Chains A and B, each alone.
Chain A
Amino acid sequence: MRAVLPFLLLLAVLGTWTAPGLFADGGAVVLHRDAGPFVITVFASPAPLRAGPADLSVMIQRRDSLDPVLDAAVSLTVERNGAGLTLAATRDQAQNKLLYAATVNLTEPGLRKYSVNVHHGAEDSELSGTLSVEPPQPKIDAYWGYFALPPLCIAIFVIHQLLARRQRLTSGV
């Protein structure tokens, strides 16, 4: 068991280390505006936005009391390839349960128009804005930590061998 447990532990740690990178929903505020009876704030993560999966989240507050609205139906429409892609933003998808979040795949860099539609009882509201999407991160940048692992381990091993050798020589003397 002694031989296997550390191995399994290492695998488990490495396995969890590769868990999907979550965007901390919220991120940077890209829009904060009054819209009808609501105050709507739109957050985007990562900041700056890059082509690829992005987290858009929305906070809806009542304009009069600034209390968060938690039972609205929220949809996000993002322009993609000349057409609008509409996604439902839900609280389930958000870490911060006061927000409504949706993950959108921003396929190309550039300026993307988007709109937020809020339905709450008889009240409807819509807000639109523009997202600036930068080119995707090169894979070498995204995975540099994984590529750095072998050289790091090799360096540690080399030092280990040198130290072990020196200690052998010392004890031999």
Chain B
Amino acid sequence: MGDPMAEAIFASWRLDLRLLGLLLAASWLYVRGWRKLHLQSPHKYSTDRLAAFLAGLSALFVALASPLDAFGGLLLEVHMVQHLLLIMVAPALIWLGQPVIPMLRGLPPRFLKTGLGPFLAWHGLRRAGRLITHPVVTWLAMTFAIVFWHMPRWYELGLESTAWHQVEHACFFGAALLFWWPVIDVWPGRAQWPRWMMIPYLVLADIVNTALSAWLVFSTQVVYRTYELAPRLGGISALSDQSTAGAIMWVPGSIVYLIPACAITIQMLTRRRLRPAPPRIKPFVRQDSAGWDLLRLPAIGAVLRYRYFRRAAQGVLFALAVAIVVDGLAGPQIAPMNLAGVLPWTYWRGFAVIALLAGGNFFCMVCPFMLPREIGRRLLPARHRWPGPLRSKWFAAALLAAYLWAYEAFGLWASPWWTAWIVVGYFLTAFLIDGLFQGASFCKYICPIGQFHFVNSLVSPFEVKVKSGAVCDSCRTYDCIRGNATHRGCELQLFQPRKSGNFDCTFCLDCVQACPQDNVGVLAVIPGKALIEDRRSSGIGQLSRRPDAAALAMVLVFGALVNAAAMVDPVMQWMHLVHRRLGLESMLPVVTLLYAGGVLFAPAILAFVCSWSSRSMANCASEGLGAGRASWKDLACNFAWAMVPLGLAMWVAHFLFHLLTGWRSLEPVLGRIFHFAGFAINLSAEVPGWLPPVQVLLLDAGLLFSLYIAWRTACRRTMRTSQALGLVAPWAMLAIGFYAAAVWILFQPMQMRGMVM
């Protein structure tokens, strides 16, 4: 057995996920770029560079997460070692890795060119870069940071407060990065002083370091009061600890300054070139840029491509749906004790939105209502075509609004009985509609859940699409839409070569199975690309020319807000107040008022006001040049889609709350069904500490994405920046207002529905 104290000390690591995440991201980026550059120029980007960079990041991790951090508050000497790593070891090693070019090359080329390109070519930024990397500036920055933070007042502040301690470390690390820049001569920076000037640069820095060290070593009283109060370890007095800390700063600190000074001197004297001669350059061969296909993933791809996977998954979900119906009708009418109260409202919704955000419309892929649709087709003739007047999303939008209203009006989350009947109703409707009408009429024109997924999957990072347009050009059989002897084609009449985005796509993969050229996959795309580009798509047309689809999107976006608002304390109080004031017997009229106002009238009015304002402002900006000739309806249809990311963000933030606070809510239900004594109802519905920041970050991302799409929409309509600004301004205000309302709602006490409290 070892020394327990030593074991305790070496066990005092901190798992700092933020730090680890950042360091891993930086390593990944560097290695990605370094691999490309190493192929081109192995001498310049040698493995030594890679090792130095990774060692620098490791030193940073050791400084901030190792026992050095844990004991820094008890012993000044340990704290000093931590600071030396931050100031002298990590930055120097990182710069020795010459990371600027590798990290830039590690970025996606398109982002590098169009995203960072304008900044990299900006003369102002270059001038600022040259200014802050000027040796005078870097020397002063380092000296100031070290002297300032060693003053007792500020050092104590860092010891008392975690936040200020982080600021202190950031100052040290940032100043040290600047300090070592001219010493290492980081590429692609150009030396601003002759090389020999680095010798006095380092020696002067060492003089400051020596003075500060001597002050600590020779002081006759404890400089930092915290160490006087701290428990003494190993019999080391506070004064002795301080002297040792000073000595560490003095001797190893000086060595770190003097080694490069000596190295530069030797280089100057031997007239060797610091930079190696340019080595032979191999051409970098770019790999095939075909989109990444989820179906090519070793395990997941094989499962997804398996012919019977979809049917099996649908069977599992169908079985669960039957269990929900049975338990909902026959089980106890206490939602948290019933499958019908827990499975759909806590788990299904949460996982469905996570799948949308991370992948695509995977719920429709495994939809349990496929089975009644299939039975309907076999038992009934299915000869009719869906009525012409109903071939739009108007009816679906109305049904979606009704569905959202019914959830609140009938308290579906609290009523297993009603939930069961909803599922039964779904089964019957699917059976009848697809039994009587051709194609996937139920999915396309009726199903509210399907509409939810169709709209939100426009922001998903995967899309069912063709891999190579050239292959489709030579195709004459069109199996992806017509089907063949063994596989049917797309039921929703989406012709793959002309499909854009996930709207109306159920991820059924029928087209994947049917294509004889294996030219359809689930490909990675830029999320929201279809909304940004707004191309004409097969089976749908152009989204911006579909008022029905735009109305559906707006219902869904505002539904996210109203659905969450109805379960927060202030809104519930307001509803009860209205209920009392009006002397109503039931809450139904109040709920109806809230939903009619929030999901139907508010979006319609706001869309009108924004479109009208857009038009007016664009006209003003163009001084009557006719930029705003488009009708308000046309503008609304264009810009309504920009709100979709924000709406999805709100849905995800809301459903994550229920999923995470109720993630153990299945236990009492299973305990009841299987008579497990171990499943006691003692669940505490605590909100995880990391959830609120995640929710705000989701909304941040949604807002930024919405604003970007709105801007691109405006830019599609006009070439003039002033007009584009006029067009986008009202919609930007709407998005910001939506964001503010969403944040307010999420920060209110929220009813934990479906929970055993």
Q: Which residue in A3, A59, A143, A153 is a CB contact (below 8 Å) of B693?
A: A143
Per-position 1/0 for B102-123, Cβ under 8 A of A: 0000011101001101110110
Does A114 make an interface contact (CB < 8 A)?
no
Distance between A105 CB and nearest chain B CB, rounded to angstroms: 10
Stretch binding the partner chain, chosen from A19-27, A77-85, A122-130: A19-27
Chain B residue contacts of A39, Cβ below 8 A: 231
**Given known contacts A46-B162, A96-B71, A98-B9, is B747 in contact with A139 (CB within 8 Å)?**
yes
Does A97 make an interface contact (CB < 8 A)?
yes
Which of chain A's residues has its CB closest to B114's CB? A164
Q: Are A27 and B162 in contact (CB under 8 A)?
A: yes
Q: In whole angstroms, what is the CA distance A15 to B690 when docked?
A: 9
Q: In whole angstroms, what is the CA distance A24 to B230 when docked?
A: 15
Q: Are B526 and A3 in contact (CB under 8 A)?
A: yes
Q: Which residue in A3, A24, A66, A71 is a CB contact (below 8 Å) of B162?
A: A24
Distance between B26 CB and nearest chain A CB, rounded to angstroms: 10
Does B73 make an interface contact (CB < 8 A)?
yes
**Given known contacts A17-B18, A24-B162, is B118 in contact with A167 (CB within 8 Å)?**
yes
Q: In whole angstroms, what is the CA distance A14 to B757 when docked?
A: 32
Chain B residue contacts of A154, Cβ below 8 A: 704, 707
Does A173 make an interface contact (CB < 8 A)?
no
Q: Are B700 and A150 in contact (CB under 8 A)?
A: yes
Does B697 make an interface contact (CB < 8 A)?
yes
Does B5 make an interface contact (CB < 8 A)?
yes
Q: In whole angstroms, what is the CA distance A53 to B74 when docked?
A: 23
Chain A residue contacts of B694, Cβ below 8 A: 15, 18
Chain A residue contacts of B462, Cβ below 8 A: 4
Q: Are A146 and B8 in contact (CB under 8 A)?
A: no
Q: Are B230 and A19 in contact (CB under 8 A)?
A: no
Q: Are B73 and A26 in contact (CB under 8 A)?
A: yes
Main secondary structure of the interface of A (DSSP, over half): mixed
Q: Are B74 and A66 in contact (CB under 8 A)?
A: no
Chain A residue contacts of B233, Cβ below 8 A: 66, 68, 98
Chain A residue contacts of B74, Cβ below 8 A: 26, 96
**Given known contacts A13-B25, A61-B231, A153-B704, is B11 in contact with A97 (CB within 8 Å)?**
yes
**Given known contacts A3-B292, A6-B111, is B231 in contact with A160 (CB within 8 Å)?**
no
Chain B residue contacts of A167, Cβ below 8 A: 118, 121
Q: Are A32 and B17 in contact (CB under 8 A)?
A: no
Q: Which residue in B226, B235, B721 is a CB contact (below 8 Å) of A165?
A: B721
**Given known contacts A19-B18, A61-B231, is B524 in contact with A68 (CB within 8 Å)?**
no
Q: In whole angstroms, what is the CA distance A139 to B696 when docked?
A: 12
Q: Are A16 and B17 in contact (CB under 8 A)?
A: yes
Which of chain A's residues has its CB closest to B529's CB? A3
Q: Are A146 and B700 in contact (CB under 8 A)?
A: yes
Per-position 1/0 for A54-66, Cβ under 8 A of B: 0000010100011
Does B192 make an interface contact (CB < 8 A)?
no
Q: Which chain B residues (269-308) contact chain A, with CB distance < 8 Å?
A: 289, 291-292
Does A163 make an interface contact (CB < 8 A)?
yes
Q: In whole angstroms, what is the CA distance A1 to B32 when docked?
A: 13
Which of chain B's residues has its CB closest to A7's CB? B461
Distance between B355 CB and nearest chain A CB, rounded to angstroms: 14
**Given known contacts A1-B524, A163-B122, is B231 in contact with A15 (CB within 8 Å)?**
no
Q: Which residue in A16, A53, A68, A153 is a CB contact (below 8 Å) of B5?
A: A68
Q: Are B70 and A95 in contact (CB under 8 A)?
A: yes
Chain B residue contacts of A3, Cβ below 8 A: 108, 291-292, 461, 524-526
Q: Which chain B residues (88-133) contact chain A, with CB distance < 8 Å?
A: 107-109, 111, 114-115, 117-119, 121-122
Give the size category of A's interface with B: 35 or more
Chain A residue contacts of B693, Cβ below 8 A: 17-18, 143, 146
Does B344 make an interface contact (CB < 8 A)?
no
**Given known contacts A39-B231, A167-B118, is B4 in contact with A70 (CB within 8 Å)?**
yes
Does B351 make an interface contact (CB < 8 A)?
no
Does B473 make an interface contact (CB < 8 A)?
no
Does B332 make an interface contact (CB < 8 A)?
no
Q: Are A146 and B696 in contact (CB under 8 A)?
A: yes
Distance between B284 CB and nearest chain A CB, rounded to angstroms: 15
Q: Are B229 and A96 in contact (CB under 8 A)?
A: no
Which of chain B's residues has its CB closest to A6's CB? B108
Distance between A32 CB and nearest chain B CB, rounded to angstroms: 6
Does A29 make an interface contact (CB < 8 A)?
yes
Q: In whole angstroms, what is the CA distance A160 to B244 when docked?
A: 50
Q: Are B14 and A22 in contact (CB under 8 A)?
A: yes
Does B527 make an interface contact (CB < 8 A)?
yes
Chain B residue contacts of A9, Cβ below 8 A: 25, 28
Which of chain B's residues has its CB closest to A71's CB? B4
Q: Which chain B residues (494-514) contact chain A, with CB distance < 8 Å?
A: none
Chain A residue contacts of B234, Cβ below 8 A: 66
Q: Are B526 and A19 in contact (CB under 8 A)?
A: no
Q: Are B5 and A66 in contact (CB under 8 A)?
A: no
Q: Are A98 and B25 in contact (CB under 8 A)?
A: no
Q: Which residue in B21, B71, B117 is a CB contact (below 8 Å) of A17?
A: B21
Does B708 make an interface contact (CB < 8 A)?
yes
Does B491 make an interface contact (CB < 8 A)?
no
Chain B residue contacts of A147, Cβ below 8 A: 696, 700, 743
Chain A residue contacts of B230, Cβ below 8 A: 29, 32, 41
Q: In whole angstroms, what is the CA distance A159 to B120 when docked?
A: 12
Per-position 1/0 for B1-45, Cβ under 8 A of A: 000110111011110111011101100100000000000000000
Does B160 make an interface contact (CB < 8 A)?
yes
Does A12 make an interface contact (CB < 8 A)?
yes
Per-position 1/0 for A92-125, Cβ under 8 A of B: 0011111000000000000000000000000000
**Given known contacts A3-B461, A66-B235, is B12 in contact with A143 (CB within 8 Å)?**
no
Chain A residue contacts of B73, Cβ below 8 A: 24, 26-27
Q: Which residue in B292, B703, B707 is a CB contact (below 8 Å) of A4?
A: B292
15 contacts between A and B (CB under 8 A): A2-B289, A3-B292, A4-B461, A12-B24, A13-B22, A18-B693, A19-B16, A19-B17, A20-B689, A27-B162, A68-B5, A96-B74, A146-B700, A163-B118, A163-B122
Further pairs besides A13-B21, A14-B697, A94-B12: 13, Cβ < 8 Å:
A2-B524, A3-B524, A3-B526, A4-B462, A4-B524, A13-B25, A16-B22, A19-B16, A27-B73, A28-B226, A66-B235, A150-B704, A164-B117
